[in-house]
Amino acid sequence: MQALQDFFSEKMHFYSGRRQNICKCHFFSVILPRNIPNMSARKKNKSYRLPVSIVSVVACLVAILSYVYSSVMPGRTQAESTSSAPVAAAAAIDTGTPATDATADIRYELPQVTDSRSQQIIEHLAYTVSYNHDWHLPNWVAYELTHHEVGGDNSRSDKFLPDPLVDGDPVVSKDYSRSGYDRGHMAPAGDMKWSDQAMRESFYMTNMCPQNHNNNAGDWKDLEELVRDLATAYGNVYVCCGPIVTDASHTIGDVRKIVVPQSFYKVLLRKKNDGRWTAIGFVMNNAPANRPLMTYMLPVDEVEQMTHIDFFCQLPDSVQASVEADYTVADWTVKQ
């Protein structure tokens, strides 16, 4: 319509040079010849009829409109047919969010329990926990750790709290008092320095297990530090860890009988620079030890057999089978 208006605007300018009378219509101007009688004359002669010249003018206008339509509308149609291209291009414009592939939102760290044990899935800011109401322990705790998160500077909380999202009667810090065991983090506080909330929630009792102090402050801590080094070196790492219970008879606590695990596991997954996945497992007894981390390494398949948990099940079946069948030590070492 703008093109039509521009066209007739030019025509009006041309005809005004010839002193023709102009009658404005609703959308554009119709040019009338000078020999049309004025309005007073028309009022005096109600039987007035338009002269033949009017018909000629209308015919000319129809011809002009046909020409304009045929010349303008094809261009408009072409513009409309390509109008989706700028929209698509706009969608691809960098808005400050890093470009991601189609698998960016897949939670590779989340496993599936393969037996009928108790579990309540609880989501917190930095980690997800499968909580076992019978054991009063996590079945597993899973999270992704990135190199950005490793660089946080929030102070350690050290305030152990009952998890407000637990159904029923939650474990409290006092349940561990004088038990001889640490309140051992599964998702460590050292991985949560990037957020006050993440740090605070890492001290929820659903993230704790009764852990031998020597193990908690020794080899298990060394493994936690290795995970942070891996995330720093390779960008990110997917982590799932928890207790292994083979005998639920050993418990602590007077009110809530918290099962003491026989050992702990941690499985890791990351994508290498060539785009291929690699995974590894670690299993440590819940007892004093001081050994190289290499001595705790296992294929993820073996950890699955011990725990009855299916790890990294979000991967394609063929990829999962390949990465869990074995491990490559070099993929899990960091050059200092």
DSSP string, 11-73: HHHHHHTTT--EEE-SSSEEE--TTSPPHHHHHH-TT----HHHHHHHHHHHHHHHHHHHHHH
Neighbours of 320 (CB within 10 A): 20
Distance (Å, rounded) from C-alpha 256 to C-alpha 284? 25
SS (H, E, C) 236-293: EEEEEEEEECCCCCCEECCCCCEECCCEEEEEEEEECCCCCEEEEEEEEECCCCCCCH
Q: Which of 185, 213, 250, 308 is catalytic?
A: 185
Say if CB 294 and CB 331 are below 8 A apart. no
Say if CB 239 and CB 223 are below 8 A apart. no
124 a catalytic residue: no
Say if CB 111 and CB 310 are below 8 A apart. yes
Distance (Å, rounded) from C-alpha 256 to C-alpha 329? 41
Torsion angles phi and psi, residue 167, rounded to 5: -75, 140
Distance (Å, rounded) from C-alpha 130 to C-alpha 308? 13
Name the residues annotated as catalytic. 185
